[in-house]
Structure 1
Amino acid sequence: MKLRYMLLHAYGMGGTIRTVVNQANAMAEAGHDVEIVSVVRRRDTPQFGIDGRVRLSALVDQRDGIASDSLARKVWRRARGKIVPYGEFAAGYFTERVERAVIDYVSSLDGGILVTTRPALNLISARRAAKGVVRVAQEHMNLAAYPHTVRDEIARHYGCFDAVAVLTETSRAEYRVLLDGTPIVRIPNAVHLVGRRHSDQTSPVVIAAGRLVPQKGFDMLLAAFAAVAPEFPDWRLRIFGTGPSKDRLRDRIDEHRLGGRARLMGRSDRIHEELAEASVYALSSRIEGLPMAMIEAMGHALAVAAFDCPTGPGDVLTSGENGLLVPPRDVEALAGALRRLMADRELRLRLGAGAARTARDYTPEVVMPLWEELFATLAAGERLVDGPRAAR
């Protein structure tokens, strides 16, 4: 099969980029003809390893800067393209020049399967992709995360997709209500667990990872940890990641007088070693798609304390079996979950073992056959009614 994956910036960092690159690599390994198309290019080399059998191309090269687009970005409402709606999180990228490049590309295709990976690209594919191209939309966030300007366009145009792929059963139910009659399939992202060392639950470390942005709720995690820190003087909190909220979070650490007990660790090339050397993973997000960092932590047999935010944590965790779920944004409840785990190594061991078993459901050996089945069904010209059997 000929597969084309379109990403906004295949040369950048981020969970969606990593997930799509891993999927493209797996499809190439399985013998398919695979290409990754990056809408923009702002680096010389990709940040994630791309199989040599996967072709990589870019539509708009911005390595020399984006000066030619800077004025258009400042007056985006006047100079933007016509399809990407205001409110799409990456709308600022889609100047008229960039949107036109995507339209020209998708309208020029002749056959094969086109997989687009965010609402902006999905909407352009839905409205402009050439006839004869099998179109699959990937959604990496839950529907409620988008403003109404984006949801309205999704409702108006996603009905022409051959399939819309989402990450969780909760998201699948949401999209089925909005897109009656459109095939919605649930296929989670894959996590590589080979060689992952399990935590022995002896190190007094709570760990968290993700972009330093409000969505991840690290401000609430710091408040929760500060509430229990005096009871557990040996324990430390380590938050891995980079992002625009770094200075604000440092101020919060100072406000809570956590000193060296809570640290922003930045980006690490040995995150899996860090996970194995911790004892508790904390997920404090205000909203999620599918929390891949949490599932990776579960692969290290870490006990998890998580907000039951929309969506994702509740689709993965069963509270008391493989982690502890607490109500969304309830800092006191999150502090209580941390207290239980920090005080009880036997509980951490039991929940960590359950977490490791659950994580096996997200390995490439389980997930990639679901994609192959979906693509084979669509390439054969068969219309999905409720998704392929394995992807339900």
Structure 2
Amino acid sequence: MKIVFLLHNAYAIGGTVRTTLNLAAALAERHDVEIVSMMRHRARPRFTVDPRVTLVPLVDTRERSPDRELPGFGAPAADFPVEDKRHGQYSRLVDVRVREYLAGPGRGADVVIGTRPGINVYLALFGPRRALRIAQEHLRHDAHGKALRRVLARHYRRLDAVVTTTRADAAVYRARMPLPGVRVLCVPNIVPAPSVAPSDHTAPVIAAAGRLARGKRFDLLLEAFATVAVKEPDWRLRIYGGGAQRERLEAMIGELGLAGRAVLMGPHSPIEPEFAKASVVVSASDAESFGMTLVEAMRCGVPVVSTDCPLGPAEIVHDGVDGRLVPVGDAAALANALLDVIKDGPGRRAMGRAALESARRFDPGPVVARYELLFAELAATRGRRACRRLQGRLLPAVRRRVRRARRRLRRRP
């Protein structure tokens, strides 16, 4: 079976890039797998690409690239929806190259999987009809603006399936975006076992990782750690990642008197060796579509303390067993949970062992099996789902005609 992934930029760093490469490598055990990168901004990908996976860049944006001389390079995209916040990074040349690929080399694919909303629109517009067309949603339904959700509701009707990373998000899609004939389900991300030894839980280190963005609430984490630092003076906080909030967070570290105690470590990839040096990993996010760093920490045998934010953490962390869940936006609750884990050494080590065992849910084998089962189900139900899709289009039109007819009858004397 030939499986094609459509990815924004396989040469960049990001959660969607990492999870796509993980899934592609796992599927390549038994299938012909290709990743089509909408654009390319550097010579080599930052993450390792499995040698069995073919990488196809469509538009080269590097400084001396011949693509930059083509007329479509500087023209805004017409097919990629303007409602997608990445629209400014897309050009008419990307539109054309995607269409050409899917009409040419991509026609031989058995399955084509899109990995972000605008790319899923490409898939709905140009995806080969013989292929199963699947939209992955790595962001929550509610993280999309209303205008984008309207666009997606119109285009997702043409697809075979929409796959979310959490059961809760799949339920939201089914409730708020009716898609007749389209299977909507959850398949979690693959998080492979790291090549590092698990944490020995002896280092007085709390770790956190993610983009330094407002929604990740590293400001709340620093506020909570200020409380921890008073009661546990030997413990340190290391925050891994880069982003727009760096200067603000640096200033906050100084204001809270945490210089030398809380450190912004910058981006690190892979992150697992750093997590293995910690005894606790924490997330203070307001929202998470999945919670990749939580699973990566658990893979290193490290207990996690996380806000119980929508939608991922509650499906990853078993509160009191392999980690702790605390209310969103509550610095005091976050500090108390951290202190509980820090003070209880035996309990922390037991949580770490439970985290290591629990994280096996995200092994490649079970996730690949779920995708292969999905492919088989979609292929077997194609005719039946096409009828439901047609009914979904026709019934609203019939209902409108019936309503108009009734109004005309009521007006007659």
Alignment TM-score > 0.5, same fold: yes
Aligned residue in 2 for 1:137:
135
8 Å CA contact 1:3–1:35 kept in 2: the answer is yes
Could you say what secondary structure the match of 1:160 adopts?
coil
8 Å CA contact 1:187–1:367 kept in 2: the answer is yes
Give runs of aligned pairs for residues 297-308 of structure 1, distance below 5 A.
Answer: 297-308=297-308
Q: How many Å apart are 1:68 and its aligned residue?
A: 5.1
Q: 1:204-260 CA distances to partner (integer Å, 9 max, x unpaired)?
A: 110011122223221211111112211110000001122232222211111211010
Could you say what secondary structure the match of 2:34 adopts?
strand
Q: In the alignment, is residue 110 of structure 1 matched against residue 107 of structure 2?
A: yes
Q: How many Å apart are 1:269 and its aligned residue?
A: 4.9
Q: How many Å apart are 1:194 and its aligned residue?
A: 5.3
Could you say what secondary structure the match of 1:110 adopts?
helix
Structure 1 range deviating more: 102-111 or 154-163: 102-111
Q: In the alignment, is residue 82 of structure 1 matched against residue 78 of structure 2?
A: yes
Q: In the alignment, is residue 296 of structure 1 matched against residue 264 of structure 2?
A: no
Aligned residue in 1 for 2:334:
334
Q: In the alignment, is residue 147 of structure 1 matched against residue 133 of structure 2?
A: no
Instruction: Name the CA distance, whole Å, in 1 between partners of 2:48 and 2:172.
Output: 34
Q: How many Å apart are 1:16 and its aligned residue?
A: 0.7
Aligned residue in 1 for 2:12:
12
8 Å CA contact 2:22–2:192 kept in 1: the answer is no
Count of aligned residue pairs for this structure pair: 379
Instruction: Name the CA distance, whole Å, in 2 between partners of 1:378 and 1:270.
Output: 35
Aligned residue in 2 for 1:365:
365
Aligned residue in 2 for 1:214:
214
Q: In the alignment, is residue 62 of structure 1 matched against residue 58 of structure 2?
A: no
Distance 1:356 1:383, change over 3 A: farther
Aligned residue in 1 for 2:392:
none
Matched AA of 2:202:
T
Q: 1:60-85 CA distances to partner (integer Å, 9 max, x unpaired)?
A: 1111279959x999xx9xx5333433
Instruction: Name the CA distance, whole Å, in 2 between partners of 1:12 and 1:51.
Output: 16
Could you say what secondary structure the match of 1:164 adopts?
strand
Could you say what secondary structure the match of 2:157 adopts?
helix
Aligned residue in 2 for 1:176:
174
Q: In the alignment, is residue 45 of structure 1 matched against residue 41 of structure 2?
A: no
Aligned residue in 2 for 1:390:
none
Matched AA of 1:140:
H
Q: How many Å apart are 1:24 and its aligned residue?
A: 1.3
Q: 1:328-363 CA distances to partner (integer Å, 9 max, x unpaired)?
A: 122222122112112221221232222222101111
Q: In the alignment, is residue 91 of structure 1 matched against residue 87 of structure 2?
A: yes
Structure 1 range deviating more: 110-119 or 195-204: 195-204
Could you say what secondary structure the match of 1:29 adopts?
coil
8 Å CA contact 2:77–2:87 kept in 1: the answer is no
Matched AA of 1:35:
E
Tell me how large the CA RMSD over aligned residues is. Answer: 2.4
Instruction: Name the CA distance, whole Å, in 2 between partners of 1:312 and 1:247.
Output: 28
Q: 1:112-133 CA distances to partner (integer Å, 9 max, x unpaired)?
A: 2111100010012112323222
Instruction: Name the CA distance, whole Å, in 2 between partners of 1:167 and 1:271.
Output: 21
Instruction: Name the CA distance, whole Å, in 2 between partners of 1:175 and 1:239.
Output: 33
Aligned residue in 2 for 1:191:
191
Structure 1 range deviating more: 4-13 or 148-157: 148-157
Instruction: Name the CA distance, whole Å, in 1 between partners of 2:218 and 2:169.
Output: 24
Q: How many Å apart are 1:136 and its aligned residue?
A: 0.7
Q: How many Å apart are 1:19 and its aligned residue?
A: 1.0
Aligned residue in 1 for 2:123:
125
Instruction: Name the CA distance, whole Å, in 2 between partners of 1:332 and 1:226.
Output: 10
Distance 1:384 1:213, change over 3 A: farther
Instruction: Name the CA distance, whole Å, in 2 between partners of 1:179 and 1:6.
Output: 24
Matched AA of 1:95:
S
Instruction: Name the CA distance, whole Å, in 1 between partners of 2:344 and 2:352.
Output: 12
Instruction: Name the CA distance, whole Å, in 2 between partners of 1:147 and 1:63.
Output: 31
Could you say what secondary structure the match of 1:49 adopts?
coil
Instruction: Name the CA distance, whole Å, in 1 between partners of 2:40 and 2:256.
Output: 41
Matched AA of 1:229:
A
Matched AA of 1:9:
N
8 Å CA contact 1:162–1:383 kept in 2: the answer is no
Matched AA of 2:102:
V
Structure 1 range deviating more: 326-335 or 162-171: 326-335
Q: How many Å apart are 1:326 and its aligned residue?
A: 1.0
Structure 1 range deviating more: 369-378 or 246-255: 369-378
Could you say what secondary structure the match of 2:244 adopts?
coil
TM-score, with structure 1 as normaliser: 0.90
Could you say what secondary structure the match of 2:260 adopts?
helix
Q: 1:162-221 CA distances to partner (integer Å, 9 max, x unpaired)?
A: 111111111110111113432012111111115442222221110011122223221211
Instruction: Name the CA distance, whole Å, in 2 between partners of 1:278 and 1:107.
Output: 49
Aligned residue in 2 for 1:232:
232
Aligned residue in 1 for 2:247:
247
Matched AA of 2:33:
V
Instruction: Name the CA distance, whole Å, in 2 between partners of 1:219 and 1:72.
Output: 42
Aligned residue in 2 for 1:388:
none
8 Å CA contact 2:72–2:91 kept in 1: the answer is yes
Could you say what secondary structure the match of 2:95 adopts?
helix
Instruction: Name the CA distance, whole Å, in 1 between partners of 2:127 and 2:198.
Output: 46
* Percent of matched pairs sharing the same residue: 40
Could you say what secondary structure the match of 1:131 adopts?
coil
Instruction: Name the CA distance, whole Å, in 2 between partners of 1:272 and 1:227.
Output: 27
Q: In the alignment, is residue 156 of structure 1 matched against residue 163 of structure 2?
A: no
Matched AA of 1:173:
A
Could you say what secondary structure the match of 1:136 adopts?
strand
Could you say what secondary structure the match of 2:233 adopts?
coil
Instruction: Name the CA distance, whole Å, in 1 between partners of 2:384 and 2:215.
Output: 34
